[in-house]
Chains A and B, each alone.
Chain A
């Protein structure tokens, strides 16, 4: 049998996702955050954890975990009490055991009355407290170091896209004609003046960055039946040119907005983009 024809489900960006990592099971962490509070994460099972802030009652969650390298973990979970509400919230931690540092990205929906599906990101940085060891003073940090980088990301065996990181706060998304992205993404995007959107970049360590984007600008222009939005967070490893991450937000299914949270992964290649893309203006900014 030609195994190309193996009956597999439809994969979009999640085909090359790492298998969920269960290594943290049984471990507990205490983070001191620069926002002025402590967080405790206890990994109680292969997929369950409890979390609490500043001695509050611990709350349970179902988490997913992928790795950026051998000692860097991306842990993601929805806040259970917000599921099935119009203000869903998601907590994401990058736990860096090598440097004993942590980054928290808290995403929530429903804060914008006019655009109720818009996802907002809040960031906090901190350190992992270990008894008997000095608490690190360095932190993961916002960074402009990705500027100038262009990468072709392979999401599944027939879809790849191009990212251009030209600004700390914006990036450009394009794709070549031979990619399934033409079918999967193409239609609505073709109506846009450009494929730029809002980003934040955090440096985790040398050659590793947390690239965070929210689908916002293009949605404002598309003005579909419902304004929807996704937040995507990529733990990018430029040592090996791979990334792992998750998306959180809302997608349209049969014309209705439905909650979305998916892990993804991708393999990268350097790419030389044409000048008209490299030097294109961001149509959404002055």
Chain B
């Protein structure tokens, strides 16, 4: 395909650089990962079992219920999976998984994995962190962790509009934190208007985040972003 147009003055060549507007905050999402396809995992937590079967590249079953599935590989052996409107962080290295099912955080271990330890609650370990997650060209989320359950959030381009919102965080091994942040209705920002939930697996070693943005009236948006520390 030619990338030039003949004009009276000569030839016009169109650039390839672009803002990728078509993807919005999902722009930088890494390619899907299919390593878990065909794998079944049963997670045990507090005496209950949760069965996940990754049946195909875009489908899974969760406790026998068929759901849409998208998976991002965050690190060797560590995956962020969207299962319909729920989330599973699968940690093959520790034989542990954290699920967020209908808003409830479930920290468990693989069935039969002797000595496996579930991911821990992050407590106040993230307090004082001020980070901007750049999810696309000029599209970012800023998070300022002010207490163990509250943070200030703002979306581009309205950096000044910081909303205090609640969050829960799980420590998934040393540099990885799973942050589940509530969101109010957003206006004139890069995220969709009815965003109500942002779940990010944040890697403070490689300074990247992988996750999903949920809300009413739009399909969940898988995201990947890189960190810019604000201070």
A residues apposed to B, CB below 8 Å: 1-4, 6, 8-9, 11, 15-23, 67-70, 144-151, 154, 156-157, 206-207, 209, 238-242, 267-271
- Which residues of chain B are near A18, meaning CB under 8 Å? 30-31, 73
- Which residues of chain A are near B125, meaning CB under 8 Å? 1
With A23-B34, A207-B16: A241-B131 Cβ-Cβ less than 8 Å: no
Q: Is the CB of B31 within 8 A of A68?
A: yes
- Which residues of chain A are near B134, meaning CB under 8 Å? 154, 267
Interface on chain A toward B: helix, strand, loop, or mixed SS?
loop
Q: Chain B nearest CB: distance from A205 CB in Å?
A: 10
- Which residues of chain A are near B30, meaning CB under 8 Å? 18, 67, 242
User: B28, B78, B126: which contacts A3 (Cβ < 8 A)?
Assistant: B126
B162 CB within 8 Å of chain A: no
With A1-B128, A15-B206, A19-B74: A157-B229 Cβ-Cβ less than 8 Å: yes
B32 CB within 8 Å of chain A: yes
CA of A6 to CA of B20 in the docked complex: distance in angstroms? 32
Q: Chain A nearest CB: distance from B127 CB in Å?
A: 7
Q: Chain A nearest CB: distance from B10 CB in Å?
A: 13
Given A240-B27, A241-B19, 7 other A-B contacts at CB below 8 A? Answer: A9-B205, A15-B206, A67-B33, A70-B32, A150-B15, A206-B1, A209-B16
B48-98 residues with Cβ-Cβ distance < 8 A to A are 73-76, 78
Q: Is the CB of A270 within 8 A of B231?
A: no
- Which residues of chain A are near B19, meaning CB under 8 Å? 241, 270
- B12: nearest chain-A partner, CB-CB: A148
CA of A147 to CA of B125 in the docked complex: distance in angstroms? 48
Q: Is the CB of A4 within 8 A of B17?
A: no
Q: Is the CB of B31 within 8 A of A2?
A: no
Q: Chain A nearest CB: distance from B74 CB in Å?
A: 7
B137 CB within 8 Å of chain A: yes
CA of A248 to CA of B137 in the docked complex: distance in angstroms? 29
CA of A241 to CA of B29 in the docked complex: distance in angstroms? 10
With A4-B231, A15-B206, A269-B137: A67-B31 Cβ-Cβ less than 8 Å: yes
CA of A209 to CA of B1 in the docked complex: distance in angstroms? 13
B3 CB within 8 Å of chain A: yes
Q: Is the CB of A156 within 8 A of B129?
A: no
Q: Is the CB of A8 within 8 A of B208?
A: no
With A240-B20, A267-B28: A15-B74 Cβ-Cβ less than 8 Å: no
**Chain A CB within 10 Å — which of B30, B34, B35, B74 has the most?**
B30
* Binary CB contact string for chain B from 99 to 136 against chain A (1 if under 8 A, 0 otherwise): 00000000000000000000000000111111100100
Q: Is the CB of A242 within 8 A of B35?
A: no
- B206: nearest chain-A partner, CB-CB: A15
B45 CB within 8 Å of chain A: no
User: B15, B33, B127: which contacts A1 (Cβ < 8 A)?
Assistant: B127
CA of A209 to CA of B129 in the docked complex: distance in angstroms? 37
- A1: nearest chain-B partner, CB-CB: B125
User: B16, B17, B226: which contacts A157 (Cβ < 8 A)?
Assistant: B226
- A266: nearest chain-B partner, CB-CB: B226
Q: Is the CB of A240 within 8 A of B13?
A: no
- Which residues of chain B are near A20, meaning CB under 8 Å? 76
B187-227 residues with Cβ-Cβ distance < 8 A to A are 204-208, 226-227
CA of A267 to CA of B138 in the docked complex: distance in angstroms? 12
Q: Is the CB of B3 within 8 A of A145?
A: yes
Q: Is the CB of B128 within 8 A of A148?
A: no
- Which residues of chain A are near B1, meaning CB under 8 Å? 145, 206
Q: Is the CB of A238 within 8 A of B18?
A: yes
- B125: nearest chain-A partner, CB-CB: A1
Q: Is the CB of B128 within 8 A of A21?
A: no
B175 CB within 8 Å of chain A: yes
Give 13 A-B contacts (CB < 8 Å), ordered by A residue: A1-B127, A1-B128, A23-B35, A146-B16, A147-B13, A148-B16, A154-B226, A240-B23, A241-B17, A241-B28, A241-B137, A270-B18, A271-B17
**Chain B CB within 10 Å — which of A68, A146, A267 has the most?**
A267
Q: Is the CB of A2 within 8 A of B204?
A: no
Q: Is the CB of A270 within 8 A of B129?
A: no
- Which residues of chain A are near B17, meaning CB under 8 Å? 149-151, 238, 241, 268-271
Q: Is the CB of B130 within 8 A of A2?
A: yes
B185 CB within 8 Å of chain A: no
Q: Chain B nearest CB: distance from A189 CB in Å?
A: 23
Q: Chain A nearest CB: distance from B34 CB in Å?
A: 5
User: B15, B74, B126, B138: which contacts A149 (Cβ < 8 A)?
Assistant: B15
